[in-house]
Amino acid sequence: MNTERFLEEDFGSFVEELLSLQRFNDSKEIGIAKLAQDMGYKHLTPKQKFVFEKSIDPYLIEECSRCGEDIPWSEMSAAEDNGQLCSWCQQLTSHDN
Ligand SMILES: [Zn+2]
């Protein structure tokens, strides 16, 4: 994923979601995630960024699997459970069922 997206305004809420879902493996990852949430990704050291990116990588969805649009951070956690779709495509495809 393009790390530019980590600088988007609502990225912090995604990190907060991962924290509340206990998606991090150890106290080191949790500590860095909290730093990223509090101060922003750009304030992490290169070493912290490396650990952080690795820890959130399994939960990142690059784009909607149907329309190819970026998935907003606010929808990413939900998209993980619904076939990696954006909310728009999710609404469209829910009529097929
Ligand atoms: Zn879509």
Per-residue pLDDT reduced to its tens digit, 29-40: 999 999 999 999
pLDDT, position 97: 54
Q: How far is the CA of 84 from the centre of ligand 1 (A)?
A: 8
Q: Are 55 and 94 in the same domain? A: no
Residue 87 belongs to what domain range? 63-97
C-alpha 29/C-alpha 55 separation (Å) is 7
Q: Are 69 and 28 in the same domain? A: no
pLDDT, position 96: 59
Q: Are 68 and 86 in the same domain? A: yes
Number of folded domains in the chain? 2
Q: How far is the CA of 80 from the centre of ligand 1 (A)?
A: 13
Higher pLDDT, 95 or 72: 72
Element (H, E) at 32: helix 27-39
Q: Are 80 and 42 in the same domain? A: no
Q: Are 50 and 88 in the same domain? A: no
Q: How far is the CA of 70 from the centre of ligand 1 (A)?
A: 8
pLDDT, position 2: 87
Q: Are 7 and 47 in the same domain? A: yes
Select from 33, 4, 5, 29 the least CA-distant residue to 17.
Answer: 33
Q: How far is the CA of 29 from the centre of ligand 1 (A)?
A: 31
Q: Are 33 and 54 in the same domain? A: yes
Indicate if the pLDDT at residue 77 is higher than 60. yes
C-alpha 53/C-alpha 1 separation (Å) is 9
Q: Are 55 and 72 in the same domain? A: no
Q: Are 17 and 3 in the same domain? A: yes
Considering the entire predicted model, what is its pTM?
Answer: 0.87
Q: How far is the CA of 57 from the centre of ligand 1 (A)?
A: 20
Q: How far is the CA of 66 from the centre of ligand 1 (A)?
A: 5
Indicate if the pLDDT at residue 94 is higher than 80. no
